Amino acid sequence: MPKTSYAIGIDLGGTTVKSALVDKKGKIIQTHKISSKADEGPEAVIGQIKLSIKELIKNSNGKNIKGVGIAAAGIVDQQSGIVKSPPNFKNWGSVPLGAILAQSISLPVLVENDANAAAIAEAKFGSGKNYPNFLFVIWGTGVGGGIILDGKIYQGPYGGAGEVGHISIDYKGVPCNCGSKGCVEAYIGQKYLSKRVAKELLNHPESKLPKYINGELEPLNISLAAEEGDEFSEKMLIEAGSYLGCAIAAVMNTMDLRVTIIGGGISAVGKFVYDAIQTSVKSYVLTPLKEGIIVLPATLGNDAGVLGAAGLLL
């Protein structure tokens, strides 16, 4: 009887290296967390990744480990395993992460962009299991995405496919950190959304939102207030959902897709936001594409990174 296959998945974050041993059904067998040391440069980060891998292998009881997958922020060349300029990583230009690790651990190493890895996780183990073609959107600090076609991630010829957050919904709109104007991320990314709501709140003294704020205003506060019936908070979240729906529709029209799965920190907002997104998508897509438009929440939460990274090998 053949051995069950396992893979190590690593979610490389700006503060933490989160790793897991995963079986082919997407079950997490064991986990490990360690500081990423992102502010100490690439050598320190790679050292932490190696420690994580060795710890999981040591405790694997001889399991058949096919290899290591890594989900990393920034631009990733999956063919070469090079990670370019990930945000929040000091002195990190262009690092051949896959090749460096493969030399020291004697296992295949695959590297993927973190948004693409999360899309792969949902395709293999989560909300996308029954949908061979879909757009995955991460809605959190920023807005990222990945495109699944025929069950596989579509990267584009240069690895940049799926950057839905930088679709401009107003060419004369507000500036985005990317240097462009009117990007949907500049309207609904966490800090942008919170800033816009705080500004509008000054004109709505009737709102109950302030009583939900303990420290800085965050989307969770807005969501809680909306769920308790605060009309202003609900209006602002519906507006955010409508903006996102407009950008999603641009992808639907271009790629002939029908299904969108949304994950990330802000994706935990209420059902009314998903309804707003779906209504917005339907209002902007071409008439022949309106049939079968579906917007779903992701199901894997904080495990999407490690599961998607492991899924590169499973």
Q: What is the pLDDT along the chain (314 residues), one digit of tens a residue?
A: 457 889 999 999 988 999 999 999 999 999 999 999 999 999 999 999 999 999 999 988 888 999 999 999 888 888 899 999 888 899 998 999 999 999 988 899 999 999 999 999 999 999 999 999 999 999 988 898 999 999 999 988 877 889 999 999 999 999 998 889 999 999 999 889 999 999 999 999 999 999 988 888 888 889 889 989 999 999 999 999 999 999 999 999 999 999 999 998 777 777 788 889 999 999 999 998 888 899 999 999 989 999 999 999 99
**pLDDT at 2 (0 to 100):** 57
Torsion of CA 73, 267, 15, 312, to 10 degrees: -40
In a domain, 207, yes or no: yes
Residues 21 and 151 both lie in one domain: no
Nearest Cα residue to 196 out of 174, 181, 170, 213: 174
In a domain, 205, yes or no: yes
Q: How far is CA 101 from the centre of its chain?
A: 24
Residues 267 and 252 both lie in one domain: yes
Residues 149 and 261 both lie in one domain: yes
- List of residues 6+ apart from 226 with CB closer than 8 A: 233, 234, 237, 269, 270, 272
In a domain, 100, yes or no: yes
Residues 45 and 72 both lie in one domain: yes
pTM above 0.85, yes or no: yes
Residues 92 and 231 both lie in one domain: no
Residues 149 and 255 both lie in one domain: yes
In a domain, 122, yes or no: no
159-193: burial string, b at 16+ Cβ within 10 Å, e else: bebbbbbbbbbeeeeeebeeeeebbbbbbbbbebb
Residues 214 and 76 both lie in one domain: no
CATH code of the domain covering residue 39: 3.30.420.40
Residues 207 and 287 both lie in one domain: yes
How are beta strands 143-149 and 152-154 bridged, if at all?
antiparallel
Total domains in the fold of the chain: 2
**pLDDT at 216 (0 to 100):** 82
Residues 161 and 238 both lie in one domain: yes
Full domain range(s) for residue 213: 127-298
**pLDDT at 272 (0 to 100):** 82
Residues 82 and 179 both lie in one domain: no
Cα–Cα distance between 184 and 211 in angstroms, integer? 28
In a domain, 221, yes or no: yes
Residues 86 and 233 both lie in one domain: no
In a domain, 91, yes or no: yes
**pLDDT at 230 (0 to 100):** 93
Residues 95 and 165 both lie in one domain: no
How are beta strands 134-139 and 259-263 bridged, if at all?
parallel
**pLDDT at 22 (0 to 100):** 97
Amino acid at 150: D
